[in-house]
Amino acid sequence: MPLFKSFSSFYEKSKNKEIVAGLSLISIAVLLNLVFGYFAMIFAFYLSFFKWDYIGEMQFVGLKNFAIVLRDLSRGLHGSYYLIAPFYTGLKNILIYTAIVVPVQTFLAIVLASFANQKIKGQQFFKVSYFLPATTSSVIISLIFIWLFMKNGFINYVFDLTVPGFQPIDWLNDKRYILLAISMVAIWGTSGHFMVSFLAAMQAIPKELYEAAMLDGAGPIRRFFFITIPMLRPMIVYVVVMGLIGALQMFDLAWVMAGASGGPGGAGYTVALDIYNEAFTRIRPGVAAAKSWFLFAIIFTTTYIFQKKYGRALR
Amino acid sequence: MKKKMVHSLVLVSVLLLAIVAAGCIGGEKETATPETIVKTETKVETKVETQEKVFIRFAGWSAGETEMKKYQALIEEFEKKNPTIGVKYEVITQMFHENILASFGAGVAPDVFYVDSSWSPIFIEKGALYPISDLADKSFIDQFYPFLLEPFKKDGKLYGLPKDWSMLALFYNKKLFAQAGLTKPPETWEELEQYAKIIAEKTGKPGLAIYLGGFNRYVPVAISNGAPKPWFEKPADASWFDNPVVKETLTWYINLYRIGKIEMENQGKTPYVVQPGDVGAGWLGDAFGQQEVAMVISGNWMIPFLADQFPDFKYGEDWDIAPVPAGKKGRATMAYTVILGINAKSEHPQETWKFVEYVLGPEGQKELVVKGGHALPSLKGFENDPDMWPQHAKTLSFKYDNVVVFLWGPKSGILEGKFSDAMAAAMRGEITPEEAIATMKQIVEEELSG
């Protein structure tokens, strides 16, 4: 067994030992990532130049699929009805949704984390209850919220009790409110998750900073804005980037709460829903792949710009 | 140094994988196909009993546990009679056709599967289905209702046989009718609207429930008033929406809700037309069963639902069935059907056909369809069968000038969805009926321009 022998002598060298052990430990994760991540990506890129119906042969169409997406966008910009420009509709909605969800969920997560960071009795209970939504399936959350958002549901009931002269809103059947309703569910579902990140970062802030500030006469609010927030900056950047990535490809909440066609007036339609519909309802996997690449480009540039601008300065 | 080496190793493996991936993409035929799977199974069998046993895979969705059990029993019976054929029953509960398409893409499609009429053109045109007419005797095919076969024919060949079917009928609540002083169901579309108004006035409950959108529910109105059957194959077919009859009837149908619900409520009056959600119901059958509305136009699937969910709401005493109202040019209804299609790439078309013949033949349909009561049998001759539910038998006794199968051409599914969205927007008053019709026209042009 010359092969085994040469391998064992190769393995005996301590430096090589580390490499073999390290590579074999990561090999499964890397392999899975390669097959289901990178292969899928490469295949999607390949697919975006073809016309295919799953049954017959693939047909090369060049850049036609991308032209379809651009035509959709230009129609949307010229004010076409939402059914004629689905990708534009989805893009517009998802940008509004992201603009609502990401700042609010980040802010809320910081607030929740600073509450959970206080030495109050029973804070463990609050930590758990804030985090609980993150452990629940988003489909189940959406289904529960569908009931809460119904016209004679709990949310309208609460508003009716607290806001004088409140007219009940048909949240999920009114095109003005459905995206807001979905955003509220998303914020509720993810803030607790990010709270944990902030909590960890807060506990890593050196106590001396607060002590020094206290000696200088800084009150709790000043300490929060001039010590906590600046020290949390790397974590804020991380949370915003993760939030951006998650929000821009939102699918599950819209699918359950608005339906495959995006609910009333397409107001709950998202890019991810459109990609799904393109691939499996209109049977145009090539166009779906082209749209996926558009979405990828959007996510990549926004997160890249954000990181470039805010991610580096603190180091 | 170490880092660099790991780096280059990873790079090499990425490259290797890319090469393998490229190979996969290039050589489609190398991927595992159902044929090879079946073959290996066959080999195992031959070793054991020397007689060759063939396995076929049958995929469908489920209409509930009872139906699944009935299928299992029928399959056991079939396997007893045909010891050389084994049938593997696979139930796909969600996104059935999407799943089947994806399995074609991956090369692991089942040998025989359900195909809804609205999806059939995709499968037929791409050559995914085996021509049934090459396998079946003419005498067997002649037992089926001919209008149910029409949509599945192409170039003189037949690509599937319907497993069962349903058609639309008018369901009406006799108690609410009596309260409103009405003695018989409406005969025409005008009467339908008139009756809905009378019932709302007299009983305070809306007379009629329809879906928001629901293009297929509108089509009988158009056809019974003299419009041709909608058929969209090329962009120019969008001219169907220019037909004055279509414009008039579509506006009327949209206004049923636009005026009957939205405007009525704006004026503070009781709405006479609603959609199921307005009365807290999930669908038309639910709204009717809860006796929140007096009339709905729905299909045979509502009958077992009402019997099951609302046992105290009795057929004959409390509610009854009438034909779909007539228009100026006769009476039309919609038919909904699902076929069993045989995979064109199946290794065992003969054996698969034997199974299909058994399931769709008189024996199979008697067990699955007639006794099950979920839909109507696709074979003729069961009209007076004692096992036929009386409600279903009554729907079969109505006379129609046109029975339209749910199929508007190669893109039926997507067109139906988008038409319904446009109609719903107009029904809610977000756009005018004229704008909705223009949008529907534009959708046809867009979807069929390739």
pLDDT bracket for residue B108 (50, 70, 90): very high
- What's the rounded Cα separation, in Å, for the pair A281 and B118? 12
- If asked whether residues A68 and A39 sit together in one domain, one would say no
Q: How far is CA B168 from the centre of its chain?
A: 12
Determine, yes or no, domain membership for A124: yes
Determine, yes or no, domain membership for A53: no
Which chain A residues touch B449 with a CB distance below 8 Å? none
pLDDT at residue B52 in the model: 79
Mean pLDDT of B358-386: 89
pLDDT at residue B34 in the model: 44
- Asked if A34 and B2 come within 8 Å (Cβ–Cβ), the reply is no
- If asked whether residues A118 and A247 sit together in one domain, one would say yes
End-to-end CA distance of chain A: 53
* Domain range for A228: 63-311
Residue from the list A35, A53, A261 with its beta carbon closest to the beta carbon of B126: A53
pLDDT at B413 over 90: no
Q: How far is CA A3 from the centre of its chain?
A: 49
pLDDT at residue A120 in the model: 79
CB-based contact, A54 to chain B, within 8 Å: yes
Nearest CA in chain B to A33: B14
Determine, yes or no, domain membership for A54: no
Of residues A17 and A245, which shows the higher confidence score?
Answer: A245
- Asked if B17 and A38 come within 8 Å (Cβ–Cβ), the reply is yes
Task: Count the Cβ atoms, other than its own, within 10 Å of residue A247.
Answer: 22
- If asked whether residues A25 and A116 sit together in one domain, one would say no
In chain B, the domains with their CATH numbers are 33-166+336-391 (3.40.190.10), 167-333+399-448 (3.40.190.10)
Residue percentage of chain A with pLDDT more than 70: 98
pLDDT at residue B20 in the model: 46
Q: Which two tokens stand for residue A276?
A: 């799904």
* Mean of all residue pLDDT scores within chain A: 89
* Mean of all residue pLDDT scores within chain B: 87
Distance from CA of A250 to the nearest CA of B (A): 20
Q: Which residues of A66-86 are buried (b: 16+ CB within 10 A; e: fewer)?
A: bebbeebeebbeeebbbbbbb
| DSSP label of B334 | E
Q: What is the pLDDT of residues B311-326, one digit of tens each?
A: 999 999 999 999 999 9
Orientation of helix A14-32 relative to helix A2-12, angle to 10°: 110
Determine, yes or no, domain membership for A209: yes
Determine, yes or no, domain membership for A254: yes
Q: What is the pLDDT of residues A78-101, one digit of tens each?
A: 888 888 899 999 999 999 999 999
Which of B126, B159, B211 is most worth mutating to test chain A (most A CB atoms within 10 A of its CB)? B126
Q: Are A159 and A165 in contact (CB under 8 A)?
A: no
- If asked whether residues A25 and A126 sit together in one domain, one would say no
Task: Count the Cβ atoms, other than its own, within 10 Å of residue A139.
Answer: 12
Determine, yes or no, domain membership for A111: yes
A94: domain CATH number? Answer: 1.10.3720.10
- If asked whether residues A30 and A143 sit together in one domain, one would say no
Residue from the list A15, A54, A81 with its beta carbon closest to the beta carbon of B101: A54
Residue from the list B21, B104, B446 with its beta carbon closest to the beta carbon of A54: B104
- If asked whether residues A227 and A261 sit together in one domain, one would say yes
pLDDT at A47 over 60: yes
Report the number of distinct structural domains present in chain A.
2
Residues whose CB is less than 8 angstroms from the CB of residue B374 and which lie 6 or more positions away in sequence, other chains included: B63, B67, B164, B300, B301, B304
- If asked whether residues A129 and A177 sit together in one domain, one would say yes
CB-based contact, A38 to chain B, within 8 Å: yes
pLDDT bracket for residue B42 (50, 70, 90): very low
Residue percentage of chain B with pLDDT more than 70: 88
pLDDT at B385 over 60: yes
The H or E element spanning position B256 is helix B244-257
* HSE-CB of B14 using CA atoms within 13 angstroms: 11
pTM over 0.80: no
pLDDT bracket for residue B13 (50, 70, 90): low
pLDDT at residue A7 in the model: 74
pLDDT at A245 over 50: yes
Say what the alpha-carbon torsion angle B201, B206, B207, B213 is, to the nearest 10 degrees. Answer: 140
Mean pLDDT of A219-234: 89
Which of B7, B14, B24, B101 is most worth mutating to test chain A (most A CB atoms within 10 A of its CB)? B101
- If asked whether residues A169 and A284 sit together in one domain, one would say yes
Which chain B residues touch A52 with a CB distance below 8 Å? 105
If we measure between CA atoms, which residue out of B98, B244, B207, B402 comes closest to residue A276?
A: B98
The yes/no answer to whether this complex scores an ipTM above 0.90 is: no
Q: What is the pLDDT of residues B228-241, one digit of tens each?
A: 999 999 999 999 99
pLDDT at residue B381 in the model: 86
CB-based contact, A300 to chain B, within 8 Å: no
- If asked whether residues A246 and A121 sit together in one domain, one would say yes
Determine, yes or no, domain membership for A57: no
pLDDT at B54 over 60: yes
- If asked whether residues A153 and A275 sit together in one domain, one would say yes
- Asked if A22 and B431 come within 8 Å (Cβ–Cβ), the reply is no
pLDDT bracket for residue B78 (50, 70, 90): very high
Nearest CA in chain B to A30: B10
Q: What is the pLDDT of residues A141-156, one digit of tens each?
A: 999 999 999 888 899 9
Residue from the list B10, B18, B411 with its beta carbon closest to the beta carbon of A42: B18
- If asked whether residues A240 and A209 sit together in one domain, one would say yes
- If asked whether residues A97 and A135 sit together in one domain, one would say yes
Q: How far is CA B125 from the centre of its chain?
A: 19
